Amino acid sequence: MAEKNGSLLFKANERILCFHGPLLYEAKVIKAEMWDGSDPEAPDPGPHYFVHYKGWKQTWDEWVDESRALKFNEENLAKQKALRQAALQASKKKTIILASKHTSKADSENESQQQPRSRKRARESSVEKSLDREEGSAKGPDVKMPIPNALKSQLVDDWERITKDKLLVPLPRKPTVAEMLAEYQDFRHNSKDKRKAGKRDDEIVDEIIDGLKVYFDKALGNILLYRFERYQFKQICEQYPGKPPSEIYGCEHLLRLFVQMPNLIAHTNMDEDAVQLLREHLSDILKYMHRFMKNLFAEEYENASPAYMALSKGI
């Protein structure tokens, strides 16, 4: 059963900031209820809020527990901006650069004639301005990342296991992100399907894969972890010092990166050809993950120990 009384930090119609994945978004509280855990459809006791995300369709409205909600104030707005800046920094890594380099020979020749420093400053200036805009009004390429329905279900299941059931992805994973991408490389190189030959040659595939690993390594600790996983990340870094996340984590976390890609790309100044090339490669990797998902994703997650539950609250 749900009760409307009790200790509720937020109230109906209140403007808040809410975590959806690793980023914070402006939202409005539609309902505020205290759950007692007796309802099979709402088993988690405690404060819960039904929220609508500003600028999002109503199909994204959802119930969230209080750990995902923050007051709409200057301190938390600064936190929102910091998370977006971290995401933006990741978006400037090698994957994006490599894609833009291969859009066409003419573009490459034109870039080589530009002053490197002035080009970099202009790009950074454009990126900084985009951060100050509302997400809905930010100008950038319109990117749609077609994620297969089975992988969408995997994302939802992953979120529920970690944020609601308080389970953890077992680490190190097998296969790791690096191992999966290496298998995909071999698959692409040995594929007999050459209908998209030209832009999708072996050299570009290799560079995109190398860039994606760098991208994942930089993004994981900044934007891909749920709050409950942060202490696990701290433990893993101490257990495997110097080892990149792509050689420890697996496809559960890589899939989250694909969800963030449209937002990250939208805050760059990539032209349409570069966006299309990058989108084609990422979509092809998603198709591969869909095809072999039974071998790529963990069937069972681990129970967190009482000690972990206590320590994770301080991260």
Contact call for residues 205 and 281 (beta carbons, < 8 A) = yes
Average pLDDT over residues 270-298: 87
Do 127 and 8 share a structural domain? Answer: no
For the cut 60, the answer to whether the pLDDT of residue 297 exceeds it is: yes
Give the Cα separation of 190 and 177 in Å (integer).
20
Residue 133 to residues 84, 128, 138, 168: CA-CA distances in angstroms?
11, 10, 6, 35
pLDDT digits (tens, 9 = 90+) for 147-197: 899 999 999 999 999 999 999 999 999 999 999 999 998 888 887 554 444
Average pLDDT over residues 217-232: 92
Give the Cα separation of 168 and 65 in Å (integer).
18
The per-residue pLDDT for 200 is: 52
* Number of CB atoms found within 10 A of residue 12's CB: 14
pLDDT digits (tens, 9 = 90+) for 20-70: 877 899 999 999 999 887 776 666 788 999 999 888 888 888 888 898 999
Do 114 and 48 share a structural domain? Answer: no
Range of the domain at 303: 82-312
Residue 53 CA, distance from chain mean position? 17
Do 251 and 225 share a structural domain? Answer: yes
| Boundary residue ending a domain (50, 72, 94) | 72
Do 130 and 60 share a structural domain? Answer: no
In the chain, the number of structural domains is 2
| Whether the predicted model's global pTM rises above the 0.75 cut | no
